[in-house]
């Protein structure tokens, strides 16, 4: 019998199952842990199995006997790295939809579909890597880059994972797909389901997601249920729904999502001429994305496409910091869920599903976990806005976290750092307007940050309809800019 092209390996007990054997909640029947996709033809399978078994003894305290021996030593697939790099670049000039996708352009590294030509794509990926001159200066670094995943079709990094997992759902013949979401996953899922002609169910916490995201799900035709609970409550309810109804779960516990979400790692390496940065900073919510990126970098190095690994660090909001607390109190062996509360609603998550995967990637790459306050997030977001780039609040935790890592020397001033900006600034314009109207933060929250906030707030005067009035406003603004030394 032919070896399967891909299979699922439990990250807890290393049990291997075929695609069709995965349970509807994507949890291992033996130990309850999550799966990841592996490709037996790559010898990386064996290496990853070893590391997951080794890590199992350390993380979560749930060392479980290996249910099955690792797969027979695989035939190592060593691609011709330069031929692949050339092919991936060449595809950018092709008219074929999957070639125009920044995910499927790299399809040799995610062979999860029987018919990749049928992938459901909105031409996701291929997002810009921006230089952040002013932010670099503000933090005292020589240079700084930001990979803007908010420039995806629905405005967040979720599109790269959704094209992958929803295409799998369609190939498996599902009519319905579902997710619990803080907003971006639901927007992405609804868009891709609509493109595929599938139906979708969205569970969101009532009143706790940004309106832009909610409106997207409705625009794309999702059945959007607002539950009287938080994100973690929505996850719990959905787990029961998928047991009781033939509906395909598209939360990030679905390992196919992560195959798409690993491709920004490939893009970053490609954009740096197949070098990797020293350090990547990622926001932490449900904690899947950091491990997806880590998988991408690990696979590239293993296959000879790159020669090094970046550190991958995770930044959380202080009000939604279960991983940070777990790292501080138990080096990531135990995670106690918290009641999450932050205005960065995308990462308002107290019981993250993929925390063990996140701990593993922090350990494997030597990354840090840091937390940042509401004021630090707001200031960082405004500074990213002043670069002409902008992002949603959850993405800005990366820059706020970088400041802390530079301040105490964990990041050197000459290091090559990439911030992963996960969502577009238009996702949460209410937050942005509240910041500039000075209605966002409480007195206590802003204490110590007043000068930074005052320097970043934009004015929005209401004037008489006369050029005199406009010129007075111009003069006042130019004077203010001169006094703080900007605008030259
Ligand atoms: N940034 C944004 C903009 C997000 O929407 C999310 C997660 C994250 C960061 C965190 O990524 O969960 O992989 O650690 N949003 C989810 C959602 C949970 O439902 O849209 P993570």
Query: Which of 253, 324, 346, 398 most suits a substitution to test ligand 1, by most atoms within 8 Å of the C-beta?
Result: 346
Distance from residue 470's CA to the centre of ligand 1 (Å): 41
With beta carbons less than 8 A apart as the criterion, state whether 222 and 200 touch: yes
Distance from residue 349's CA to the centre of ligand 1 (Å): 9
Q: Is 388 left (phi over 0), alpha (psi -120 to 50) or beta?
A: left
CA-closest residue to ligand 1 atom 19: 181
For range 68-78, the mean pLDDT? 56
**H or E element at residue 244:** helix 231-244
Report the alpha-carbon distance of residue 38 to residue 296 in Å, rounded: 12
Distance from residue 475's CA to the centre of ligand 1 (Å): 42
Predicted confidence band at 485 (pLDDT cuts at 50, 70, 90)? Answer: low
Question: Relative to the CA of 287, which ligand 1 atom is closest?
Answer: 14
Picking from 134, 183, 175, the residue whose alpha carbon sits closest to that of residue 158 is 183
Question: Relative to the CA of 283, which ligand 1 atom is closest?
Answer: 9
CA-closest residue to ligand 1 atom 12: 286
Question: Relative to the CA of 392, which ligand 1 atom is closest?
Answer: 3
- pLDDT value of position 63: 33
Q: How many helices (H) and strands (E) does the chain have?
A: 19, 13
Per-residue pLDDT of 364-408, as tens digits, reads: 999 999 999 999 999 999 999 999 999 999 999 999 999 999 999
Q: DSSP letters of 272-326?
A: TTS---SEEEEE-SSS-HHHHHHHHHHHHHHTTS-S---EEEEEEEGGG-HHHHH
Predicted confidence band at 480 (pLDDT cuts at 50, 70, 90)? Answer: confident
Predicted confidence band at 2 (pLDDT cuts at 50, 70, 90)? Answer: low
With beta carbons less than 8 A apart as the criterion, state whether 29 and 23 touch: yes
Predicted confidence band at 479 (pLDDT cuts at 50, 70, 90)? Answer: confident
Query: Which of 283, 345, 352, 401 most suits a substitution to test ligand 1, by most atoms within 8 Å of the C-beta?
Result: 283
- pLDDT greater than 80 at residue 74: no
Distance from residue 155's CA to the centre of ligand 1 (Å): 12
Report the alpha-carbon distance of residue 266 to residue 102 in Å, rounded: 9
Per-residue pLDDT of 178-188, as tens digits, reads: 999 999 999 99
- Pairing between β-strand 129-131 and β-strand 145-148 as defined by DSSP bridges: antiparallel
Q: DSSP letters of 424-459?
A: -GGGGHHHHHHHHTT-SS-HHHHTT-HHHHHHHPPP
Distance from residue 347's CA to the centre of ligand 1 (Å): 6
Query: Higher pLDDT residue, 478 or 415?
Result: 415
Query: Which of 155, 184, 315, 340 most suits a substitution to test ligand 1, by most atoms within 8 Å of the C-beta?
Result: 184
**H or E element at residue 145:** strand 145-148
With beta carbons less than 8 A apart as the criterion, state whether 156 and 167 touch: no
Distance from residue 287's CA to the centre of ligand 1 (Å): 8
- pLDDT value of position 75: 56
CA-closest residue to ligand 1 atom 15: 346
Report the alpha-carbon distance of residue 191 to residue 258 in Å, rounded: 18
CA-closest residue to ligand 1 atom 6: 346
Report the alpha-carbon distance of residue 474 to residue 227 in Å, rounded: 47
Tokens at residue 392, please? 């949603």
Report the alpha-carbon distance of residue 1 to residue 233 in Å, rounded: 44
When mean pLDDT is compared across 77-81, 108-112, 243-247, 349-353, the lowest value belongs to 77-81
Output the average pLDDT for the chain: 92
Tokens at residue 380, please? 């960082």
Query: Which residues form the pocket of ligand 1, taking CB atoms under 6 Å from any ligand atom?
Result: 156, 158, 181-185, 252, 283-289, 346-347, 392, 394-395, 422-423
Per-residue pLDDT of 135-176, as tens digits, reads: 999 999 999 999 999 999 999 999 999 999 999 999 999 999
């Amino acid at each position: 019998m032919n070896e399967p092209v891909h299979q699922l390996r439990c990250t807890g007990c290393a049990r291997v199952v075929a695609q069709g054997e995965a349970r509807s909640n994507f949890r291992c029947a033996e130990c309850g842990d999550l799966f990841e996709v592996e490709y037996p033809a790559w010898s990386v399978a064996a290496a990853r199995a070893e590391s997951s078994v080794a890590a199992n003894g350390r993380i979560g305290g749930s060392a479980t006997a290996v249910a099955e021996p690792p797969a027979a030593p695989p035939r190592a697939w060593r691609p011709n790295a330069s031929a692949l790099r050339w092919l991936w670049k060449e595809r950018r000039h092709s008219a074929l939809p999957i070639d125009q996708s920044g995910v499927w352009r790299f399809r040799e590294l995610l062979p999860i579909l029987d018919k990749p030509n049928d992938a459901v794509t909105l031409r996701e990926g291929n997002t810009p890597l921006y230089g952040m001159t002013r932010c670099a200066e503000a933090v005292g670094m020589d240079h700084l880059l930001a990979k803007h995943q908010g420039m995806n079709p629905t405005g967040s990094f979720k599109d790269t994972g959704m094209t992958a997992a929803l295409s799998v759902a369609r190939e498996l013949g599902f009519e319905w797909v579902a997710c619990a979401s803080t907003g971006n996953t639901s927007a992405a899922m609804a868009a891709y389901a609509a493109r595929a002609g599938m139906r979708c169910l969205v569970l969101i916490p009532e009143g706790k997601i940004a309106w832009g995201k909610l409106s997207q799900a409705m625009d794309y035709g999702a059945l959007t249920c607002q539950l009287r609970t938080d994100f973690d409550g929505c996850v719990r309810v959905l787990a029961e729904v998928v047991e009781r109804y033939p509906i395909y779960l598209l939360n990030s516990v679905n390992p196919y999502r992560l195959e798409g979400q690993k491709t920004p790692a490939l893009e970053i390496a490609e954009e740096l001429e197949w070098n990797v940065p020293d350090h990547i900073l990622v926001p932490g919510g449900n904690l899947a994305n950091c491990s997806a990126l880590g998988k991408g970098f690990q696979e590239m190095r293993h296959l000879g496409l790159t020669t090094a690994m970046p550190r991958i660090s995770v930044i959380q909001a202080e009000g939604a910091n279960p991983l940070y607390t777990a790292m501080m109190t138990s080096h990531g062996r135990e995670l106690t869920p918290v009641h999450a509360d932050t205005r960065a609603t995308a990462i308002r998550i107290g019981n993250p599903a993929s925390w063990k995967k996140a701990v593993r990637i922090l350990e494997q790459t030597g990354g840090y976990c840091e937390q940042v306050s509401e004021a630090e997030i707001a200031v960082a977001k405004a500074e990213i806005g002043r670069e002409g780039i902008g992002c949603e609040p959850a993405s800005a935790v990366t820059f706020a976290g970088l400041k802390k890592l530079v301040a105490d020397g964990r990041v050197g001033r000459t290091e090559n750092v990439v911030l992963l900006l996960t969502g577009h600034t238009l996702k949460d314009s209410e937050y942005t307007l509240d910041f500039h109207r000075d209605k966002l933060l409480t007195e206590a929250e802003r204490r110590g940050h007043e000068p930074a906030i005052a320097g970043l707030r934009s004015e929005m005067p209401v004037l008489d309809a006369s050029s005199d009035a406009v010129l007075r406003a111009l003069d006042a603004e130019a004077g203010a800019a001169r006094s703080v030394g900007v605008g030259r």
